[in-house]
Amino acid sequence: MEDSAKIATFGPNLSHQLHHALTADKNELRQVLQSPSMEVLRAALKNPSLDEAHLLALLERRDLSEELLKAVFSLPAVGESHNLKVAVVRNPNTPGQVTLALLPHLYLFELVTICYLPGVTPDQKLAAERAVIQRLPGTPLGNKLTLARRGTANIIEALLREGDAQIIDACLTNPRIKESAIFQFLSSAKASAETISLIARHPRWKTRPNLITALLRNQKTPVVWYNLFLPTLNTAEIRNLLASQRLSQTQKVAVEEELKRRGQR
């Protein structure tokens, strides 16, 4: 009765569309769900014939209002279907609070895919990245390696902080990795002789002045890299390096030897 009373308050044409949305059979409902009217679509959500296939088709639309998407989210069918949860999150008009509520239900690489969807909002991307990062402690190594190759810059930065050599090696090939993230890693306690060497020999990163400086200031850097990189620095840079309190005794000797070679005291 409530729906009938509501229909009666609209004009004849819209009233007819609303009634049809409520009573259409499965095949007719497909056409109803193409309506530009949010009122008609909202009425269609109450149709007993509405099923998952109808909702998946509806969620492909990019002109849905936030209110309609909230109404879809509240349907019992969404709570019971993983595919519908994913489809709701993937819609660029889905309100932030709905996205946040659904992200914990998505699989790891579904979250990564969301980060790269055309039209994804910055807030949606950030929420998906945070959900991935929160799961990293319990993520198997194989999945972390895949994330290292496919992940966003923020995900890569989180993986670098773990300090695992295999993961670092995979991260270095990711085109989205930022030099600043590598610099921070080289300056951190997580860097080891092995991971520093991975960066020092990497063709993309071994010529970056800031990274060379960072690795030469790390106490764990093998002396072999001092022998390679010190000759490429100017004398003022080498003196600054010698003044660093971070170097090991062996590293200091290598720096002093380079200064002596240049005739410097």
For 116-157, what is each residue's pLDDT tens digit? Answer: 988 788 888 999 999 999 999 999 999 999 999 999 999 999
Same domain, yes or no: 93 and 119: yes
Among candidate residues 89, 115, 138, the one where a domain is terminated = 138
Structurally, the chain folds into a number of domains equal to: 2
43 located within any domain: yes
- Please report whether residue 192 resides in a domain: no
Q: What is the pLDDT of residue 120?
A: 81
> What pLDDT, on the 0 to 100 scale, is given for residue 105?
95
Residue 96 lies in a domain: yes
| 43-80: pLDDT as tens digits | 999 999 999 999 999 999 999 999 999 999 999 999 99
Domain boundary among 115, 138, 161: 138
Among residues 87, 108, 138, the one where a domain terminates is 138
Distance CA(220)–CA(215), nearest Å, equals 9
Q: Which residue has the tokens 């499965």?
A: 26
Residues 115, 72, single domain; the answer is: yes
Domain for residue 145, yes or no? no
Q: 217 in a domain, yes or no?
A: no
Is there a single domain that holds both residue 87 and residue 127? Answer: yes
pLDDT single digits (tens) 155-214: 999 999 999 999 999 999 999 999 999 999 999 999 999 999 999 999 999 999 999 999
Q: State the pLDDT at residue 9.
A: 43
Q: How far apart are CA 139 and CA 132, in angstroms?
A: 9
Q: What is the reported pLDDT for 2?
A: 47
How open is the CA angle 48-97-69, to the nearest 5 degrees?
A: 30
Q: Is residue 185 part of a domain?
A: no
Write out the residue range of the structural domain in which residue 73 sits. 62-138
DSSP designation for 231: G
